[in-house]
Structure 1
């Protein structure tokens, strides 16, 4: 037998009000009904929760311990009820999906602003590529996301927010041929890129195809941070968002490899579940767009 919320609520009301009669009246049930709930709860927990002394009751040591659990259970249940009745993820847990570009540049600011405006908000952040984030949105496992070229279903609304400029990036210590390189020239080098589920991988493949060639050695990495670390070390050349390496390009630590075939930029969208859209979620959409513009993340 499992604990029910009805039992937990009965226990919490008795503990707060000091009697079975007062708790039953508050909940709107009979005193025998509330007594039965507590008997079942004590049987499940295999302990006494109350010391009975006439109409008044006091908590046992185990009762005091269980009250902490009861408060947390009821708070979570109440949050869930409000969250789904009002269809507003900002009243409970906001499930946010973001690309690594957004995570590196804007996520910290977004979390700070959300904390200021919604101090009780809990967040669950998933950082991933287009394929992963799109799938989670389609499966209703995310409320809102910032991703490139999303493949999302009709229950997801897409708001265009810019283009993610890409370039072939290499360490300045890497010895590359001089001049502007063709896809065939670059294909002779070790290439590192995101996995097949990522839009970056598709863009890389298409870019070489347009040049009538294919790279001879391709490594994949599902972390853009690690990919950049490998590029910095001279391990490989990578196709990455320019904004992420702007400072290093300016300092000359990394170089954008000049190429004959332009690299396609990615359209970036802010996506959210249509059924959950309301004034608060609209505010988050506006805030996200504001931060992207402030950090000049996309063009």
Structure 2
């Protein structure tokens, strides 16, 4: 008996996402179904692919070898499936996704350049968080997306285009102890963040947890525009891309906080479907990089990370 594509796809996503629960959610399957597929695959191969324990599934050394071959088989299967579906999105409909930071920065300029260079192009625009954009790309519901922290299937190409400078920000009317701008001193402060599993939420939680603390007064908001309003009104502090609140900083209603440890810049990507001939030449990737750097959102890739 040979492994099925369903078994290999399940194996790939468990290895990619680090757990059976995560893969079940991603594939919209029950965990017993996921477990059964992996058991069948291990029986067929006569190999143990994962060490199971806790909330994560750790891939074994031989499992890593199998993963390399599984990725090749999934990619080949996808290539064959797409032969009859190939089209050039730059001559028809381009399904473009972007996160909110991009939408608030250079997206309008990018759309203008696209229409000028490709006058016959129609654009279907999706603004969403990176996790959802990745999911839609993997499901081929988008052609291309601008996002951070993509979690991509083998048929999606991720191209790093720059860093985004993040900062803790507060209203200039908010009185803070400047000597206590560290995880222990800020744990009790009101903090607003986007919902999990967004990148900004992950950044906030990891910043506190790396120092052994949890934010004690955390509010969730799914709109970056509303988050900025909450910060301006003094209701909370937040981690936001510095460029997104540049106008508020310059007008003196928001200030950046000099926290310790500092926040590392966030990597930004353009991710697109591998089979799309209109995207593979990199023109749109280059255009997005140039526009977002000119908008001030992106910093060059050569920027060193903070220690």
**TM-score, normalized by the shorter chain, greater than 0.5:** yes
Partners of 1:94 and 1:102 in 2: how far apart? Answer: 17
Partners of 2:242 and 2:140 in 1: how far apart? Answer: 31
Deviation at 1:226, TM superposition (A): 1.1
Deviation at 1:280, TM superposition (A): 8.0
Q: Work out whether 1:218 is the aligned partner of 2:256.
A: no
Structure 2 residue aligned with 1:127: 127
Deviates more, 1:236-245 or 1:249-258: 249-258
Structure 2 residue aligned with 1:292: 292
Q: State how 1:105-144 maps to structure 2 within 5 Å.
A: 105-144=105-144
- Number of aligned residue pairs: give it: 216
Deviations 1:136-191, CA, capped at 9 Å, x for gaps? 11111111111011111111111111111111111001111133511111111111
Q: State how 1:250-265 maps to structure 2 within 5 Å.
A: 250-265=250-265
Task: Tell me if the contact between 1:157 and 1:273 (Cα under 8 Å) persists in the aligned partners.
Answer: yes
Partners of 2:117 and 2:271 in 1: how far apart? Answer: 21
Partner secondary structure for residue 103 of structure 2: helix
Structure 2 residue aligned with 1:178: 178
Deviation at 1:211, TM superposition (A): 1.8
Task: Tell me if the contact between 1:99 and 1:130 (Cα under 8 Å) persists in the aligned partners.
Answer: yes
Partners of 2:213 and 2:93 in 1: how far apart? Answer: 47
Decide which structure has the larger Cα Rg and report it.
1
Partners of 2:206 and 2:121 in 1: how far apart? Answer: 42
Q: State how 1:2-17 maps to structure 2 within 5 Å.
A: none
Partners of 1:270 and 1:279 in 2: how far apart? Answer: 11
Partner secondary structure for residue 179 of structure 1: helix
The CA RMSD over aligned residues, in Å, is: 1.7
Residues 258 and 180 of structure 1, relative CA distance in 2, 3 Å threshold:
farther
Task: Tell me if the contact between 1:195 and 1:222 (Cα under 8 Å) persists in the aligned partners.
Answer: yes
Deviation at 1:257, TM superposition (A): 1.3
Partners of 2:232 and 2:117 in 1: how far apart? Answer: 38
Deviations 1:94-133, CA, capped at 9 Å, x for gaps? 1111111111111111111122222232111111112111
Partners of 1:183 and 1:260 in 2: how far apart? Answer: 8
Task: State the 4+ residue runs in structure 1 displaced beyond 6 angstroms.
Answer: none
Residues 144 and 190 of structure 1, relative CA distance in 2, 3 Å threshold:
same
Partners of 2:134 and 2:185 in 1: how far apart? Answer: 34
Partners of 2:279 and 2:188 in 1: how far apart? Answer: 53
Give the structure-2-normalised TM-score. Answer: 0.67
Structure 1 residue aligned with 2:91: 91
Structure 1 residue aligned with 2:65: none
Structure 1 residue aligned with 2:149: 149
Please list every run of 5 or more consecutive structure 1 residues that lacks an aligned counterpart in the other structure: 1-83
Partners of 1:242 and 1:293 in 2: how far apart? Answer: 13
Deviation at 1:197, TM superposition (A): 2.1
Please list every run of 5 or more consecutive structure 2 residues that lacks an aligned counterpart in the other structure: 1-83, 300-307
Partner secondary structure for residue 271 of structure 1: strand
